[in-house]
């Protein structure tokens, strides 16, 4: 069986550090606070938000969930964000995606002040990431969590051939920037890429985020490659699978499992960023 990357364990180790940081901040009279806006009743989104809230509460972080009807106008969401921007008790603001069709998610993300943009999607924070700015700024939590995993399992990325499959603003594009900032040689592949098979065969690190069950086979990957599976797909029988098929019964390849790989890291990293933002606000 391909060797599995233990995302749960790395996430738990990170949470121990976060809990220690929270205790120190609370001792100084600072309680980190995160607000999550959920518009509509998408079942998956409700589960994600509930998991985030539970993680925050366990770590001593104040958590507020603002659940709005699916018919909520964009103006009302913007008004909620404006109120949270002005609320000193809130250090981090997250708007759960996807949102109803009447709401422009880009406009919503841009309305969150950059210093409370816990997802790192504000244009200012995206620009800082792509410029490899050296001062502090929040960045996308899933790619950042992946970088934490890679630091455990492939700590030296300098000169490594990294392939990112999928170019969403949620994962692919910030992932490309983070790997590039770590001095890997990065290729961003997408639906129009014509030489994907060769890119897969040559890559030392592969991050797959396309949302298609078993899109990539481990038998097509280098023997010593590290593969990060970001996909979460539910099959007709209810089974959860990733974007990667593990068809190698005995190899030295490394792969994140689904579930239990990237997912726990995303939530832990979200909490990490919330605490960092609280610390930043305490020095303003």
- Tell how strand 205-208 and strand 216-217 pair up: unpaired
Strand-pair category, 62-68 with 33-39 = parallel
Do the annotations mark residue 166 as ligand-binding?
A: yes
Question: DSSP string of 165-196?
Answer: E---TTTHHHHHHHHHHTT-EEEEE-TT-S-H
Known active-site residue 202: no
DSSP 2: P
Q: Is 167 annotated as a binding residue?
A: yes
What per-residue string of b and e applies to 219-230 under the rule 16 or more CB within 10 Å gives b?
eebbeebbbbbb
**Contact by Cβ (8 Å): 212, 243:** yes
Query: Which residues neighbour 154 within 8 Å (Cβ) at sequence distance 6 or greater?
Result: 160, 204, 205, 226, 254
Q: Which helix (H) or strand (E) holds 149?
A: helix 141-153
Catalytic site residue from 15, 96, 160, 253: 96
Q: Which residue in the list 91, 117, 119, 246 is annotated as catalytic?
A: 119
219 is in an annotated binding site: no
168: annotated binding-site residue?
yes
The verdict on whether 52 is a catalytic residue reads: yes
Looking at 52, 80, 116, 160, which residue is catalytic?
52
- The secondary structure of residue 115, as a DSSP letter, is G
Which residue numbers belong to the known binding site for NADP(+)? Answer: 166-168, 232
Which residue numbers belong to the known binding site? Answer: 166-168, 232
Catalytic residues: 52, 96, 119
């Amino acid at each position: 069986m391909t060797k599995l990357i233990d995302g749960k364990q790395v996430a738990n180790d990170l949470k121990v550090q976060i809990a220690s940081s929270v205790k120190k901040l609370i001792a100084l009279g600072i309680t980190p606070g995160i607000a999550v806006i959920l518009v509509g009743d998408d079942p998956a989104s409700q589960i994600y938000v509930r998991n985030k809230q539970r993680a925050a509460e366990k770590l001593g972080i104040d958590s507020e969930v603002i659940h709005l009807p699916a018919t909520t106008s964009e103006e009302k969401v913007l008004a909620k964000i404006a109120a949270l921007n002005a609320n000193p008790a809130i250090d981090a603001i997250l708007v759960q995606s996807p949102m109803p069709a009447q709401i422009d998610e880009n406009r919503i993300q841009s309305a969150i002040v950059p210093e409370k943009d816990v997802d790192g999607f504000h244009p200012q924070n995206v620009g800082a990431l792509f410029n490899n700015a050296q001062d502090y700024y929040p960045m996308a939590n899933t790619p950042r969590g992946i970088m934490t995993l890679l630091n455990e399992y492939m700590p030296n990325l300098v000169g490594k051939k990294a392939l990112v499959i999928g170019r969403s603003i949620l994962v692919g594009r910030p992932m490309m920037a983070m790997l590039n900032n770590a001095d890997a040689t990065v290729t961003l592949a997408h639906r129009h890429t014509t030489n994907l098979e060769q890119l897969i065969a040559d890559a030392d690190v592969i991050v797959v985020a396309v949302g298609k069950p078993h899109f990539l086979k481990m038998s097509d990957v280098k023997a010593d490659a590290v593969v990060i599976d970001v996909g979460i797909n539910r099959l007709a029988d209810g089974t959860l699978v990733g974007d990667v098929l593990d068809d190698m019964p005995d190899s030295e390849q490394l792969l994140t499992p689904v579930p239990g790989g990237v997912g726990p890291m995303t939530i832990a990293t979200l909490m990490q960023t919330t605490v960092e933002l609280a610390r930043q606000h305490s020095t303003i």
